Each structure stands twice: as C-alpha cells, then as structure tokens.
C-alpha cells in the first residue's frame, strides 16, 4: 500500500458536496480573499491567493460534477488534475496556508475557502503530496501517540515534577471524574506550567478532573495533513479513553487545531456523536467565572492584549470567553486591530509549524502580527494556544521585539486569590 495519484483523485471526488459546488459556482475571481491572507499580504505573490489553493478540488468538481465540465472532459477540453499539478500546488496548500479561515470571512459571495483547502488536503495526502515534516509528525502521532514523540513516561516525569514543586496531586486515570484533560505535546515539553496552572485553578474551584494515561494527546496531525482516516483513528483513542474513565466532559487544552479536531471534526470523523461533551479550557474557565467559583487577587496594571488563535475564535467560536476572563484581572486590556473573528493568524497553524520547509515563510509573514502589535504598544500578549505561543515567541525574536507571550490559563492561575 502506498500513496498514488488515483487515490488522491478519488479522495478529491469524495470531498465535493453541495457546499463545495455552491462555492465554486459562485466565485467571481474578485481576488478579495488575497487581501485576507497574510501569506499574500506579506509576500505579494498572486499564486498564494486563497482561492487558487483550491484549484485541484475545483478542477475535479468542474470535470466530474458539472454538465459542461463532464462534456468538456469527454472532448478533451478543460484543465485536468495531474500528479505534476498536485506536486506544483503542494507548497501553496501546505506551506502557504494555516487554515486560519480569514479568507472565508471576507469572501463577498460567501465561499468557505478554508474548508475547501482543508478538503483539498485530503487529495494531497492520499496522493503522496504532503510535506515530509508533516508526514513525520503524523507517523509519530500514530505510532508514538504524539507528533513531537512525547511518550507517557515523559508526561509522568512532568507530573511528578509539578507534584513535587507544588505539593498538589495531579489526578491520573481517575474513573468517574467530571472532566478529562487533554494536553498538547508542546504543553508537556515546553510549557509544563500549564499543567500546574490547571491543577491550581481546578483545586481552587473544586473541579473533579483527571488525565488519561491512554490518551492524553490533544493534537491531531491527521487534521493538519488532511487525512480523515488517520484523524479519525486519533480521535477514537480519546473517545475510547473517555469511555474507559466514564468521564462526562473532555477538556481541549490551549491548542487551536486540537479544539477543531476534537470538538468540531471529531464526531464527523468517527461517524457518531459523542457520549461526552467537549469544552475548551477557556469555555470551562469562563463557566466557572460565571458561577463565581473563581476569585482573583488584585488587578494587573500592565497594558495587555489578546491574540485570538484562529481555530479557537474564528473557526471555533470561543471569542467572548477569553475576554471575559482577562477582564477579571486586567485593567488595561487593549484589542489588536482586527480582533476576534477577524484576527490575523500567527502564521504557523494548520501544520505549518511541523513543516520545516515553511520555516522561512512563516517568519516572513509574521510581519503582519508585528504590524498589529506596533499599532498598540503593549506590555504583554496573552494567547490560548501553545502552538501560537511558540511561533509568536519565535517571530518576536526574529523581529527583535521584546514582549512577553502569556498563556491565559497560566496568567489566570497566577492571579487567583488563594487565601
């Protein structure tokens, strides 16, 4: 078994549905999506216009699902999808798109271009045109359980570390807990403070929770590479672990695409609704706030802003929650230009950060974020996605900017009134 053009073409045929057909029928080539995409605005390359990234899917729709296109195909008219063509589009579809969804918000005819690029990736992955970096991450996710190769002992070591530092107990494999916390590998390896912060807040608010040793990884490389089969397998592991521990809720951590994968794509990938609810950590925290279960000590005077992770806000619907939470402890909160659902991507989502080939361009397009930050002069930037955070730090360093990048959960934990 291996990738083949036929498999890829077949996958593209599977992806076309009424919404895709409506979108392609409606496109008037106005080019407005280019101005919504930081990979265009920061490079000026016309081929990086979002709608052009869907070209393989468009050709399949046209030649397979429209009367004129089908007739044209018989008589040899119209542009075909070929293996060479897919190879040519690979860097556009993977290196120059973070699936951030901004183009879908500005398209005047209402095309969900991002959704179509996501669908196009299904054909790319099946035909062997995914970037090597993403293929590697996907293999590790399936075989090891984490795209970064984080194994259970590594998590256990971090948990022991936190327990030693704080004296708290981190619940693992507790059957019947209300909430099962997922973590991203980045949180385990780069930001173990997150585990500590969650433990502290949940202790403070009296939340019953646990971590599963079977499925603690929240990220889903299958979504990023565009393989529903692999994505479904990774989702199934979480579903099984949740069933085993009989939890009522699963918490998606501070990671954008993990939330997209487990919250929105998950049930559709495995073909059935969950027996549990999925909440983003910010949704849960905001719920606790509403129930008055969180008390903060004092208020921060720093000028703070919030970077909306695309998959959490624009594609995920968690927009008001972070603002409510920040409002608990920050006196000087300022919005970036184009906040909330119109926020600009950090430049490394959608698998770009796993794709070393895209390192140069992701730092180049960070200019957009720099411009946004230059406009507001803040003392700190809060976010709620560890992938965003790593790349934001990377970008700030690249552009010689001094600005702390904070986790919302961690910042909230630090400001809890523990008296």
Partner 1 sequence: MTKDLSRKDRTLGETLRSQGVSRRSFLKFCAATASMMALPPSMIPTIANALEKARRPSVIWLSFQECTGCTESLTRAHTASVESLIFDSISLDYHHTLQAAAGHAAEAAREAAMEENHGKYLVVVDGSIPNGNNGYSTIAGISNYDMLIETAKGAAAIVTVGTCAAFGGIPHAKPNPTGAVSVSDIIKDKPIINVPGCPPIPVVITGVLTHFLTFGTIPDLDNLGRPKTFFGQSIHDRCYRRPFYDKGLFAETFDDEGARQGWCLYKLGCKGPTTYNACATTKWNGGVSFPIEAGHPCIGCSEPNFWDGGGFYKAISIPTENITKTTMYAAAAGVAAGVAIGATGRMKKSAAGKAHQKVTIDDLEK
Partner 2 sequence: MTETELLTWARGPGFQIASIIFALGIMLRLGEILMLGRKANLAEAKGSAMSSGLRTVFSRTVPDAATFKRSAFTVTAGYIFHIGLFVVIFLFAPHILFFKDLLHVSWPALPSPVIDATSVITIITLVIVLVHRLRDPVKRFLSNYDDYLGWFVTILPLITGYIAFHRVGMTAPSLIAIHLLSVQLLMVVFPFTKLMHAFTIFLARWYNGAISGYRGVQS
The reply to whether 290 sits near partner 2 by the rule CB under 8 A is no
The listed partner (partner 1, partner 2, none) that binds 2, CB under 5 to 8 Å by sort, is: partner 1
Q: What is the CA radius of gyration of the chain?
A: 22
d(CA 308, CA 342): 9
Question: Within 10 Å of residue 190's Cβ, how many Cβ atoms?
Answer: 15
Q: Which three-class secondary structure string do you get for 379-396?
A: CEEEECCHHHHHHHHHHH
The reply to whether 25 sits near partner 2 by the rule CB under 8 A is yes
Judged by CB under 8 A, which of 41, 45, 105, 128 binds partner 1? 128
Nearer to partner 2 by C-beta: 155 or 281? 281
Least separation, in Å, of the C-beta of 317 and partner 2? 3
Q: What's the number of CA atoms in the CB half-sphere (13 Å) around residue 148? A: 17
Nearer to partner 2 by C-beta: 176 or 337? 337
Judged by CB under 8 A, which of 246, 272, 297, 299 binds partner 2? 272
219 contacts 238 by C-beta, under 8 angstroms = no
Tokens read off for 224: 């990023």
Q: What is the DSSP string of 223-234?
A: HHHT-HHHHHHH
H or E element: which one contains 333?
A: strand 330-333
Choices 124-132, 287-295, 311-319, 331-339 (CB under 8 A): range interacting with partner 1: 124-132
Judged by CB under 8 A, which of 129, 200, 314, 369 binds partner 2? 314
The listed partner (partner 1, partner 2, none) that binds 146, CB under 5 to 8 Å by sort, is: none
Tokens read off for 354: 């796993």
Q: Is 65 helix (H, G, I), strand (E, B) or coil?
A: helix
Which residues within the stretch 143-162 sit at the binding site for partner 1 (CB under 8 A)?
143
84 contacts 56 by C-beta, under 8 angstroms = no
Choices 29-37, 146-154, 210-218, 295-303 (CB under 8 A): range interacting with partner 2: 29-37
Tokens read off for 349: 């989502």
Q: What is the binding site for partner 2 (CB under 8 A)?
A: 16-23, 25-32, 34-36, 40-41, 44, 46-47, 49, 51-52, 65-68, 104-112, 115, 263-268, 271-274, 277-278, 313-319, 337-338, 341-342
> Which residues make up the interface to partner 1 (CB under 8 A)?
1-4, 7, 10-11, 13-14, 16-17, 64-65, 67, 125-126, 128, 130, 135, 138-139, 142-143, 225, 227-230
């Amino acid at each position: 078994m291996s990738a083949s053009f036929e498999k890829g073409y077949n996958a593209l045929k599977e992806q076309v549905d009424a919404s895709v057909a409506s979108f392609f029928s409606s496109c008037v080539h106005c080019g407005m999506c280019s101005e919504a995409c930081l990979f265009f605005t920061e490079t000026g390359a016309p081929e990086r216009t979002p709608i052009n990234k869907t070209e393989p899917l468009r050709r399949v729709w046209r030649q397979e699902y429209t009367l004129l296109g089908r007739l044209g195909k018989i008589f040899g008219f119209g542009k075909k999808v070929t293996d060479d063509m897919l190879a040519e589009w690979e860097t556009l579809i993977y290196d120059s798109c973070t699936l951030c969804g901004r183009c879908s918000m500005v398209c005047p005819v209402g095309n969900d271009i991002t959704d179509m690029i996501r669908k196009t990736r299904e054909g790319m992955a099946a035909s062997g045109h995914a970037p090597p970096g993403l293929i590697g991450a996907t293999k590790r996710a399936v075989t090891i359980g984490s795209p970064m190769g984080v194994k259970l002992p590594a998590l256990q070591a971090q948990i022991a570390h936190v327990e030693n530092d704080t004296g708290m107990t981190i619940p693992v494999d507790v059957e019947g807990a209300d909430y099962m916390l997922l973590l991203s590998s980045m949180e385990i390896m780069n930001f173990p403070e997150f585990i500590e912060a969650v433990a502290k807040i949940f202790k403070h608010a009296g939340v019953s929770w646990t971590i599963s040793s079977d499925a603690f990884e929240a990220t889903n490389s299958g979504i990023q590479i565009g393989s529903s089969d692999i994505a479904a397998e990774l989702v199934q592991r979480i579903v099984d672990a949740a069933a085993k521990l009989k939890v009522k809720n699963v918490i998606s951590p501070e990671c954008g695409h993990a939330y997209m994968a487990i919250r929105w794509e998950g049930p559709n990938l495995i073909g059935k609704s969950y027996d549990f609810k999925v909440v983003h950590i910010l949704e849960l925290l905001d719920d606790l706030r509403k129930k008055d279960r969180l008390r903060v000590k004092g208020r921060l005077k720093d000028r703070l802003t919030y970077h909306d992770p695309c998959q959490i806000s624009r594609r995920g619907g968690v927009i008001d929650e972070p603002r409510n939470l920040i409002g608990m402890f920050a006196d000087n909160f300022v919005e970036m230009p184009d906040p909330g659902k119109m926020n600009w991507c950090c430049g490394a989502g959608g698998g770009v950060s796993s794709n070393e080939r895209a390192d140069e361009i992701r730092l180049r397009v960070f200019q957009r974020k720099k411009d946004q930050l230059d406009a507001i002069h803040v003392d700190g930037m809060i976010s709620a996605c560890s992938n965003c955070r790593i790349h934001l730090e990377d970008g700030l360093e690249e552009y010689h900017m001094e600005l702390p990048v904070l986790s919302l959960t961690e910042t909230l934990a630090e400001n809890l009134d523990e008296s």
